[in-house]
Amino acid sequence: MSIQEAPRKAISRLSLHRTRWGLLISAIFVVVVILAAVFAPLVSPYPPAAVDLLNVNSAPSAAHLLGTDALGRDTLSRMIYGARTALYGPIFVILLSTILGVILGLWAGWAGGIIDAVITRIFDIVLAFPALLLAILAVALFGKGLTAPIIAMSIAYTPYIGRLTRQLVSGEKNRQYVSAYQVQGFAPGWIATRAVMPNVLGVVGSQTTQNFGYVLVELAALSFLGLGIQAPAADWGNMINEGQSALVAGNFLPAMIPSLAVVLIVVAVNSIGGWLSDKLGDPFA
């Protein structure tokens, strides 16, 4: 087991997809978070940066359903706006890593030989570096914020998709429908992209859903370390970090609410990903 596999397995176990209710609750939760993120200006009770210094770290009340933070900002409003960055980062990473991974995996699996060997070794090298480490390196080189970590993590996640695609394509390549296309004189590129690729995308899609949870946790960790989204922007990782100071005063709500949100969204997304895997068939199951 590699160093990265342990936390990945731990995160992937956070799933409720084998129960109908679990899946339903997960789906509802994800939809609610997405809607909150999209319609944040409409549903947020206060502007996320509105400071009220005389009402700091207050308990939940009618005016502030989830209380306030160390600057008297409404925690619920910051959670709603924080959902935007919580989803925005992982979506970009998943899109980029999936596009890159599918292209490289398809090429390696279809071409085989030296191309397959080179691409596979590159995947192995990239996999040797934890995604979070690459993201921290990118921040050190290019500065704080989301852009550098998104690019670094997209690269780090590409091998997961690439290896899966390569393995699926290698299997598909020997199937009869491929031979039929070849006999009829279709170009190899056409067969690979138009005939084989659609057959593997379903499984790849379920894997990307699972990756979403990992990426979300890692980007939140980056913000928690002060390397991702910068204050005063609302971000769940940032909120956990800032909430730490209230722990000294015995007030754990400001840190716990965003922590809980990160756990719940990961559980929910994993549940949906797990259900998709069951439906589409997981080649590694």
Partner 1 sequence: MKNKALKLTAAAASMLMLASCGSASGSMVEKPVMNLTDSTPAAAGELDTLKWSLYAEPYSLDYAYAFDYSDNQVLANICEPLLRLNPDLSVAPGLAAKWENPTPTTWVYTIRKNVKFHDGTTLTPKDVVASLNRHLDPEVGSSWYSAFANVKSIEATGKDQVTITTTKPDALLNESLSGAAGVIESAATLEKLGGDYGNASGGVNCTGPYQLDEWSSGEKLSLSSFDEYWDKDLAPKAKKLDFVVMTDPVARVNALKSGEIDGGWMIPSNAINELQATGTGQMYFGTNSAVSSLVVSNPEGPLGDARVREALVRSIDRNGLVMAAESGYATATDSLTAQGVWGQQPKKVQEAAFDQLNEYPYDLEKAKSLVKEAGAEGREITITTAPMGNNFNVVAQATAAAAESIGLKATIKTVTPNAYTALFSDPAAREGTDLFFTNWYLSVGNPLEMFSIMRTDDFSNYGGFSSPKYDKAVNQALFSEKPEGESKNLLEAQKILNEQLPWLPLYETPTTLWMSDRVTGTDVSVNYLYYPWAAQIGAK
Rounded Cα distance, 34 and 139, in Å: 27
x-marked contacts with partner 1 along 169-198 as a string, rule CB under 8 A: ------------------------------
**Count of CB atoms within 10 A of residue 54's CB?**
7
User: Could you tell me which stretch among 100-108, 169-177, 209-217, 257-265 binds partner 1 (CB under 8 A)?
Assistant: 257-265
User: Could you tell me which stretch among 12-20, 33-41, 181-189, 208-216 binds partner 1 (CB under 8 A)?
Assistant: 12-20
Residue 144 found at the interface with partner 1 (CB under 8 A):
yes
Q: Which of residues 34-73 bind partner 1 (CB under 8 A)?
A: 49-60, 67-68, 70-72
Of 67 and 162, the one with the shorter C-beta distance to partner 1 is 67
Instruction: Find where tokens 């690459």 sit.
Output: 134
Residue 221 found at the interface with partner 1 (CB under 8 A):
no
Q: Which long-range contacts (CB under 8 A, 24 or more apart) does 237-243 make?
A: 237/262, 238/82, 239/69, 239/75, 239/78, 239/79, 239/82, 242/69, 242/70, 243/69, 243/70
Residues contacting residue 145 through CB under 8 Å, at least 6 positions apart: 139, 228, 229, 230
Closest distance between partner 1 and the C-beta of residue 71, in Å? 5
For residue 245, give both structure tokens.
Answer: 């100071």
- Where residue 174 falls (left for φ over 0; alpha for ψ -120 to 50; beta otherwise) is alpha
Selected binder of partner 1 within 9, 13, 19, 117 (CB under 8 A): 19
Q: Which residues bind partner 1 (CB under 8 A)?
A: 16, 18-22, 25, 49-60, 67-68, 70-72, 144, 226, 230-232, 241-242, 244-254, 256-257, 260, 264, 267
